[in-house]
């Protein structure tokens, strides 16, 4: 893939060497925003219900769009969604929804905004019914690293996996929306459940 959660329109590439001499996944050098995200965040373990809820929401907003579109608006998203506090978002009113639809700093998609509020309510239900909450539920789908050889090129990085299909199915069963298998896999990649940095990537 040429970017997190996206397809690979540029073909099946291996690592590329940056100006600093470090080898990286090819998408990392397409913009400065991606460089920092690749080196400091993507593929590193994320824990905590609110932190994972934020990633679920942002991956949902990314659906059909480029991840860079979301990444560049992330601080605006955080401000608009009360820092992605699950309890705060679950309590959003019709006035909050109207505020979000008028906020040019985020993606003003009514269905995705509604999904974020719905997903907050679902996350509370997970917290109340699943030991360890959303964190434990999502991480229960992390595959054994020994079963996942390091990809050598972007052609070997899958868009979905059996684990992401299973995670998607579980989340949907619990009331989450905009969490299809591809979105679930992007979440797993971004939050470190799987390590899809290429084998020769310096960040792996």
Q: Which residues are catalytic?
A: 37, 59, 67
Strand partners, 4: none
Whole-number Å distance between alpha carbons of 187 and 196: 12
| Alpha-helical runs (H) found in the chain | 32-40, 49-62, 67-71, 74-80, 86-90, 94-101, 110-129, 133-139, 162-173, 181-190
Sign (positive/negative) of CA torsion 130, 163, 113, 111? Answer: negative
**C-alpha 138: how far from chain center:** 12
Give the residue among 147, 146, 127 at the shortest CA–CA distance from 137.
127
Whole-number Å distance between alpha carbons of 74 and 81: 10
């Amino acid at each position: 893939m040429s970017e997190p959660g996206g397809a690979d329109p540029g073909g099946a590439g291996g690592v590329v060497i940056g100006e600093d001499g470090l080898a990286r996944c090819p998408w990392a050098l397409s913009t400065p925003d991606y460089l920092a995200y690749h080196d400091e965040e993507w593929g590193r373990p994320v824990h905590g219900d609110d932190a994972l809820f934020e990633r679920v929401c942002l991956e949902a907003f990314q659906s059909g769009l480029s991840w860079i579109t979301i990444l560049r608006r992330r601080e605006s998203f955080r401000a608009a969604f009360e820092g992605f506090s699950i309890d705060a978002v679950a309590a959003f009113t019709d006035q909050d929804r109207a505020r979000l639809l008028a906020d040019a700093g985020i993606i003003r998609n009514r269905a995705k905004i509604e999904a974020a509020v719905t997903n907050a309510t679902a996350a509370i239900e997970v917290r109340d019914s699943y030991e360890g909450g959303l964190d434990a539920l999502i991480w229960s789908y992390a595959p054994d690293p020994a079963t996942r050889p390091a990809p050598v090129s972007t052609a070997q990085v899958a868009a979905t996996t059996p684990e992401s299909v299973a995670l998607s199915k579980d989340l949907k069963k619990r009331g989450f929306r905009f969490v299809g298998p591809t979105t679930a896999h992007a979440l797993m990649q971004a939050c470190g459940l799987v390590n899809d940095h290429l084998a020769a990537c310096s960040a792996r």
